[in-house]
Amino acid sequence: MTPRDLLRDLVSTPSVSGAESEAAGVLVDYFESHGREAWTDDAGNVRAPGDDSVLLTSHVDTVPGYIDVRVEDGELWGRGSVDATGPLAAMAAASVETGASFAGVVEEETTSAGARHLVEDRAEPDAVVNGEPSGWDALTLGYRGLVAGTYEVATESGHSSRPEPNAVQIATAWTERVRAAFPDDDTVFESVTVKPVSFDGGLAEDGTAVEATVEMQFRLPPGTTADDVRETVADCTEAGSVTWTESIPPVMASPRTPVAGALRAGIRDAGSDPTHLRKTGTSDANIYAGAWDCPVATYGPGDSNLDHAPDERIDLAAFDRGVDVLTTAADRLCTS
């Protein structure tokens, strides 16, 4: 099976976050067909141990949404082709070629349960290449962190003609007050982004109160901590309460690490000048960098502008170059 065959098989296999087992089986079969030991662990991650001088890892899951799998004008269309099945397949192929360790993790798009299990369940490698689309000729060194929380408030029910604000009004005002407390910086990457992702409000089932709930996410630049965000939000909260549910620290890796140098060498060998990226989202790279004291860089073929898009597709020639880049990088890093 060629790397392109693996890519198409994986893209053709539904793997929405939380339902990755069939796609995980495709990966296990691929490694076993090349004489490598592979299995799924208790979290559902695919594990193919090898030379731990570098761990090649990407996520198996995708967001929901069907896209007819087809090849048109040298591009493979399909949900996950960019985020992150393209990087995942490229890493599996490079691992088979070089003997590098490999892990395909689950639920990156939701809870990062796979990455969290991985850092608890295995020894720290010497380096990590995390698979996310950067374009075949670039590597990503920075991601913002994430803090998530739920704001809840309730007021006594009353006629809508009364002037006192009800819980829906209080929650709306709270949301705007919190957003204004985090002014924009010169760039998105250097700013705290405040995003309400869910709002629910209205009369309680028993009719005695008006209730409102806001789910909020905060993206954090390097230098800003979860405690910084919590303190600012507390200052904005005069009524109601906030329950904090998730925290992932930001990461800004050095471009001078061996893993970053190996990826740049691979890009040059494949015919381009490498560039460095900083991304405004969050990835499993944040989990690895926070848990392990080893260099972490993110790389993968694919145009990240097509992440989660209805026209998600990957250029197959760029995918081939991505395989070459990862193979060269892993060859330089592997010692056995």
Distance CA 153, CA 238 (A): 10
Alpha-carbon distances, residue 315 vs 131, 164, 310 (angstroms): 16, 58, 16
DSSP code string of 236-297: H-SSSEEEEEEEE--EE--TTSHHHHHHHHHHHHTTS--EEEEESS--HHHHHHHH-SS-EE
Helices and strands (H and E) in the chain: how many: 9, 16
Give the residue-averaged pLDDT of 256-271: 98
Interatomic CA distance for residues 266 and 96, integer angstroms: 17
Cα(121)–Cα(39) distance, integer angstroms = 14
Q: Spot the catalytic one: 61, 211, 284, 303.
A: 61
Asked about 108 being catalytic, the answer comes back as yes
pLDDT in tens, 101-120: 999 999 999 999 999 999 99
What tens digit of pLDDT does each residue of 180-216 get? Answer: 999 887 789 999 999 999 999 999 988 899 999 999 9
Find out whether 168 and 257 touch, Cβ atoms under 8 Å: no
Q: What is the pLDDT of residue 146?
A: 96
For residues 213 and 310, what is the distance between their CA atoms, to the nearest angstrom? 30
**139-162: average pLDDT:** 90
Residue 161's pLDDT is what? 65
Can you give 47-72 as a three-state secondary structure string?
Answer: EECCEEEEEEEEECCECCCCCCCEEE
Catalytic residue among 108, 303, 315, 324: 108
**Cβ count within 10 A of residue 234:** 9
Look up 293 and say whether it is catalytic.
no
- Residue 331 clears pLDDT 80, i.e. is over it: yes
Q: What is the mean pLDDT of the chain?
A: 96
* Average pLDDT score over residue span 10-19: 97
Say how many C-beta atoms besides its own lie within 10 A of residue 61's C-beta. 27
Reply yes or no on whether the pLDDT at 170 is more than 80.
yes
Provide the residue type at 141 as one letter: L
Whether 276 and 139 have beta carbons less than 8 Å apart is answered as yes
Q: Which burial class, exposed, middle or buried, applies to 266 when counting CB atoms under 10 A from its CB (0-12, 13-18, 19+)? A: buried
